[in-house]
Each structure stands twice: as structure tokens, then as C-alpha cells.
Chains A and B, each alone.
Chain A
Amino acid sequence: MADTVLIVDDSVSMRQMETLILKAGGYQVVEAANGKEGVEKLTEDITVVITDYNMPEMNGIEFIEAVRAGSVNKSVPILIVTTESEAEKKQEGKRAGATGWLTKPFEQDQLLRAIKKVASPSDF
């Protein structure tokens, strides 16, 4: 079975772009419009999560904290995908339990590489 990526982003177009890239890369995709929805849609079948930083309801950091403190697939690799690139924010993400960081805008293969990196790093 193909690996499944959970995309958590409040922007429809962003989710769509990521979905297109990931499907072309051979992934199955589950979408969520904010952190709260992300927590609901996270199952044991999810291989990797990519999440936005700034979102209504529950932002990226709160989402990661919730996943790590929860009981479902709590150690799933999580990649933060955002326009933010400040070191402080990255540190904040790392403290919350993120596995990696990708700064927008990015090229298709950058996203696929970043996902591979957090999902199965020793394959490189």
C-alpha cells in the first residue's frame, strides 16, 4: 500500500498544490483545513504529516503538541511547511516535536525530498 500523507493547511489552493505534487510522487493524501481537523483525521495509517504554521482554530505548533501528547500515531514524522523561516520559529517547532521544516515557496522535488527525509531518512 502506498504511503499516506496528511496535509494540514487552511489554504485550499495550497492543499491542492501539495496534493498534486504528492500524488504525482506516488502518495495517497488526506487533507485537513486546520490543526483541529488534523488531529481528527490522524490515524495509524498516516505515514507522514505536513502542516502549515499559521492557521485558524489550531495553529501548526498547537497541532504538533496535540499529536505528540495524544494516543493516535503519536510519533508520526511531522514536516512543517510554511513561509516562515526564522530560527526562533524553527526552534519553537522543534521543541513542539516537529521532525523537519520546509520553507515556502518550494519546488516539487523539494517537497518530495523533504517528505522522504522525515519519513525514512536512512534510505538516502
Chain B
Amino acid sequence: MSPSVDPLETFREEVTELLSSLERALMKLEDDPADTGMIDEAFRSMHTIKGSGNMLGLTELGAFTHTVETVFAHVRDGHAAVTPRLIELGLAARDHIESLLATVEPDERLNADGAAIVNELLQEYPLDSGRAGGATVPAAPAATESDAQGETTWRIQLLPASSAFQTGNNPVPLIRELMELGEVLVAGFTDQVPPVEELDPELCMLSWDILLTTDAGENAVRDVFIFVDDDWDIRIAAIDESSLDAADLDYKRLGEILVERGDITADDLANAVNTRSYIGDTLVQQGFVSPERVEAALKEQDLVRKRRESRQSLETSNTIKVRTEKLDTLVNLVGEFVSEHATLQRLATQAGDPEILSTAERLEGLIRDTRDLAMQLHMVPVEVLFSGYRRLVRDLAKELGKDVKLVLEGVDTELDKNIVERLKDPLLHIIRNSLDHGLETPEERTAAGKHPQGTLIMKAYYSGAHVAMRISDDGRGINTDAVREKAIDRGLISEDAQLGEQELNELIFAPGFSTAKKTTSVSGRGVGMDVVRQNIENLGGSIRIESERGQGSSMHLRIPLTLAIVEGLLVEVADQAYMATMSSVVECVELDDSNRRGDQKLMQYRGKLVPFIDLREYFLGITENREMTGGRRQILMVHSEDRMIGLVVDNIRDTFQSVVKTLGKMYEGVEGVSGAVVLGDGRLALMLDIDRLSRLAAHTA
């Protein structure tokens, strides 16, 4: 037989031989199922057909024989026994391979036949359990890995042994092999090469950094280096994975990357960081690292950032973008729905028609569901808000010569988008204050026995109908002596005022207060903590401070989940309706003389003295006239922050849900109300500003 020069023709001849040896092996196995030599031969004939078939681009054949081969390997390795069914299917596979080879292009019927055989084989021999023991891997290596993993960016540091040139190892083919796995960014380093007069051309003093982005999995990357001599220093680290949260765009700082790469030590960084200029330049100028390594680290930073950005835009592509105005309109419409329904409910009750009533009730359920959904659409995770401050903290810290770590917690907590918008500025000021006044420089911290790096924690969590936020630092805390001095200076308190630590801390919220020794570019923007408090209260939220000298301070914020619709309790004062948000109401009690304490605005409540405000008196300036109401007035117990107060009202009516409207100019300067709602009968109810009222009560009592 003279061999043909066409490999495909040779392959056909070869397969014919292999198939008859397969048939022989299967027949012998039928007689003696324990003949391992025969199962090995069956395996090998499939293996060869697969290998050559794939080389010749016969993919159908390659894929089909792969399964058959895997099953044979499974049996050969003792994971399953030879059954009559295996012999039968093996023979069917033999015939199928023969038909595949007889055609140039397999048609559908043939493919279906193949699929049927594969299915039956897999039914007879489920491979999952013993697959690891099989001698084969899928025809396309690492395909299974990549499906699960997605793309990963690897940092591969390649430091050849200095003898690499003599032993014949060369990094270039390795880099080329890596290029076959995915996208590659290479940086070569010559900074270890000695001056020409000391240079030994036999020695390899070069090293390389390769950034590889691939879906091939860690093993495929490591495999490239299996045949590399053991005295090479090869470090492989994942620096970015597609499974990582794309919202977190920020990668490490340049200094961190250099330390991680082993180009500089953490001490080098700490020493260099003290100066104010750009860290990369500083490190180079002070001789800690060569410019090419800084450049490589910058490239890494850039690559990871770009990848995360593109991933983020990819992620948003399977969602629909809706303009926020449309969402706002939806939420408002739902709010109107709620109000209109209240009217319908009232009319239905008046009409007394049970059918209309039950329809109104069903409608209420539907409206509630719609409202909840509209609310959800309008919610965004706090992460959107928090992560925006990363850059600020980094830049500010650099500007102030401080080292600050920002820790974000509870970033999944969701808040109304409008609230997030309106929290941006207040949080910005709080963070600025923390970095400027709270956190110390690394030297100061070390002197105080603290870690040179300060920590700023931003945390959010649900708390009833509110989201609680805490922004805390481990800085020097509030200097209450300085606060006191400044407050006296500004005429906020008298010189002999007796104030506790907490009261002194709270003074930073007083209008026009600032403890900054001098105006820096950071916190001296003319906005004080009083404005921060005002902004947060305008949202229906509250803020308080906790601070301990030398230990740090934290701002505690309570923010309503949503602005658009509030649930409240309606009360009446001199025929005017007012509404208190449901979340602030504790209970309602009757006012009688026994719980009054003389002329003081204090009352007994559950064994405690609680301040109260008579709203009739407060809003209308009318001193209590018992005859007007027959002496049966009510007290609404409400709490705000950590205080409890009583609000004396004429009547308590009903709960009500509605959109809150802002008040017009007419109400400017009216303290104690924060908005208005339109009631079912068209009347207006004023929203009570509980925070404001409770502070007022605490001061006057």
C-alpha cells in the first residue's frame, strides 16, 4: 500500500483500520467483559480518530468521538462495568463514524443519529461522578472553566533566572503563548541591568510584567509555565475578575500597586508619602523605584479601571434606562392616586352601597401594590451615594497630608433616589469635616499611639421606616473646650453656662459655628454644620453627633426611606388639620390635670417627666380655653431622635397616606410645619415638623 499524500485520504484509511480494530475489541469484550486490554484498545482507537479528526477540522467527528472516548476511558479506569448495552452502543458509534466519514458535509439526519447515540451512552454512563478519572479533556481546552468564570485579568511577573540565556529558556515564546490565551499588555524592565562596563552579556537581568485578560482560567495560565525551569521567579495574581462588583470602579492606588508588585516596600511608601507632590514622581525622585515600574503600575491601574468601566456599561445593557423625570412623574401620579382614592373611599362610605365600598377596597389594594412598585423603581442602593466619595477622600487626604482608609458598609441599603441626591452635599460636608478636623496626620496619630492610617467608616442600615447612616472616624474627636470657647466668643452661650459634653458637642450644629482654626481650602467653604442639619431635617431626617476625645466622632443620620408618600396621623387643632408622620407617633393619651406639673410645660408620662407643646397655643397664640373643646383634649406622644415630647391637640382623627407638597412662600418662617397634604375632602393638612418641635420643647421646658 503506497501511502497517499493527502492527509484526509490517509485519515480515511486509518479510520477504517481503527474501526475494524474497535469492532474486534468490542466483540471480544462481549465474550469477556473483564478484558481490560480490549477496553483500552477501544479507547485508543477513539482517541486517535478524535485527535486526527480535530486536526483535519472534522469537528462533528471530533465532538462525537470525544464522548465515546470519554465513556470508554470511564470504563477503562474502573468507574463502570462493561454492559451489553455498551457493546451495542459502541457498535452503533462505529457505524456512525463510518457514515460521518463517507460524507463531506454531515446532514441533519446524520447529526441527529449521532446525538441519539451520545444521549444513550450518557444515559448508560452518567459521567459526572467519575469524570476526573477519565483520561480525556474536552476538545476545546478550558472551555468548561471559562463558562463559569468569565474573564479575569492576571498580573504575571516574570523574573527569569540570570542563567536563562545559557539554559536556553526564553520568555518570548511564553509571552507569545499567553497571547494565545487572551489580551496581553507587556512591560519589560531593564532597571536591574548593570552599567555596560559591569555587564555580563551571558546573564539575563531583564524581567517582564504581563497583564493578561482571559477567560481561560487559572490553570491554563499556570500551564504555560509548567515547562519553565524551577529557578525562574514567576508570580501570578488575579487583579480583576468579571464577577467583581462593577459598581466599584476604583482600583488600588499607585503606591498600593507598587507595594503589591514588590517594587517598593510599605516602608518606602510611608516615607515617600509624607511629601505632598505626586506619589509616583516622589518615589522616583527619592530613588525608591525606577520610572518604568511606575509606568507599568499606572498601566495596570488604567487597564483595570477601563475593564471595570466597560463591564459596568455592559451590565446596564440588559436593563432599560428610564429617565428619572419619568420615574418622578410615575411616583407623583401614584401619590395622586392615593389621595383620590381617599376621596372615593369617603364618598363610598357616605353612599353606603356595599358594592361601591368593596370596589373601593379592592382598588385600595391595587393602589398599594402599585405604590410599592413605584417606590421600588425609585430606590437606589446607597452604594451609588457612598462610592462617589472614594475619590474625594483620596484626594482630600493627599491634599491634607493624611492617610485615610474609607470603609463602606451596608452599601446595598436602598434609598429613594431623590433623597440620595439631596444627601450628597450634607454628606460631603460631614466627610470634609472629618478629614479636616477629625482625622490627624500620620505623625500625630503615631504620637497618639494610633495606627498611622486613619479610618473613615460610612455605614447604612434599615431602621424601621428609616435608613440609618453613620459616618464615623477614629480621629481626635471634638475638642469640647475649644467648642465652648468659640461658642462664648460667638455669643451662642453665656460664659457661665453649665453644659455637659454632649450639649457642647451639639453646639457644632448651632448657626454660624465653626471650630476651624483657619480657613482651609477644604472645610472653609462657608457652610457650617447648621446648614447640614437644616438640609437633613428638610428631608424629614435627623442628625446627631457622638464624639469622644481622642477616640473619634460619629454622625448619626436618620433618613426616611422615601420622600414622595408619607403615612401620617391626622389631628385637629382649632379646626385646622395637621398631620404627624406615622413613624414618629408613639401613642395617644388624654390630657388631664393629674399629668400636668403646675405651670411648667412638663407632664408625667410612664413615670418620666416629658416636655409638651400645646399646638393651639403654639400655632394660634391662644392660651388654652377649655370651654371651647369641652375639656377633652388629647396628647399625641411623638419621638424624634432620642427625645420624646407630647403635642396637645383638640382631636385625633384618622391615618392618611398622601403626597407631601412643599409649602409656598406664605409659610416661610413658620417653624413647626414642613409641608402640606391635600385631604380627601379637598382640605389642606399641614405636616408637623416633629424634629423642630421637639427641640423647641426641650429648650423651653
* A contacts, CB < 8 Å to B: 10-14, 16-17, 20, 52, 54-56, 82-87, 90-91, 94, 98-101, 103-106, 113, 117, 120-122, 124
The answer on a CB contact under 8 Å between A13 and B52 is yes
Residues of chain A contacted by B41 (CB below 8 angstroms):
56
The answer on a CB contact under 8 Å between B52 and A14 is yes
CA distance A80 to B662 in the complex (A): 78
Residues of chain A contacted by B680 (CB below 8 angstroms):
none
The answer on a CB contact under 8 Å between A20 and B7 is yes
Say yes or no for B401: interface residue by CB 8 A criterion: no
Given contacts A11-B51, A104-B54, A121-B169, 4 further A-B contacts (CB under 8 A): A17-B55, A20-B7, A52-B51, A121-B168
The answer on a CB contact under 8 Å between A117 and B141 is no
- A83, A87, A91, A122: the one contacting B51 at CB < 8 Å is A83
Residues of chain B contacted by A84 (CB below 8 angstroms):
135-137
The answer on a CB contact under 8 Å between A16 and B10 is yes
The answer on a CB contact under 8 Å between B170 and A98 is no
The answer on a CB contact under 8 Å between B10 and A122 is no
Known contacts A83-B50, A105-B55, A124 near B170 by CB under 8 Å:
yes
Known contacts A83-B47, A83-B54, A85-B141, A124 near B223 by CB under 8 Å:
no
* B contacts, CB < 8 Å to A: 3, 5, 7-8, 10-11, 13-14, 41, 44, 47-48, 50-52, 54-57, 135-137, 139, 141-142, 165, 168-170, 172-173, 176, 219, 222-223, 226-227
CA distance A12 to B7 in the complex (A): 9
Mostly, the B contact residues are: helix
* Residue of chain A at shortest CB distance from B55: A105
Shortest beta-carbon distance from B122 to chain A in Å: 20
CA distance A54 to B176 in the complex (A): 27
The answer on a CB contact under 8 Å between B55 and A54 is no
Interface-central residue, A82, A104, A105, A117, by most chain B CB under 10 Å = A105
CA distance A103 to B170 in the complex (A): 20
The answer on a CB contact under 8 Å between A13 and B11 is yes
The answer on a CB contact under 8 Å between A13 and B172 is no
- A12, A54, A121: the one contacting B170 at CB < 8 Å is A121
* Residue of chain B at shortest CB distance from A101: B227
Residues of chain A contacted by B55 (CB below 8 angstroms):
13-14, 17, 104-106
The answer on a CB contact under 8 Å between A87 and B176 is no
Known contacts A16-B7, A122-B168, A100 near B227 by CB under 8 Å:
yes
CA distance A82 to B136 in the complex (A): 11
The answer on a CB contact under 8 Å between B11 and A86 is no
Shortest beta-carbon distance from B254 to chain A in Å: 33
What are 5 A-B contacts with C-beta separation under 8 Å? A12-B13, A87-B222, A90-B223, A94-B226, A106-B55
The answer on a CB contact under 8 Å between A122 and B3 is no
Interface-central residue, B5, B13, B168, B222, by most chain A CB under 10 Å = B168
The answer on a CB contact under 8 Å between A86 and B10 is no
The 6 A-B pairs with the shortest beta carbon distances in the complex, nearest first, are A13-B11, A85-B141, A121-B168, A105-B54, A124-B172, A117-B173
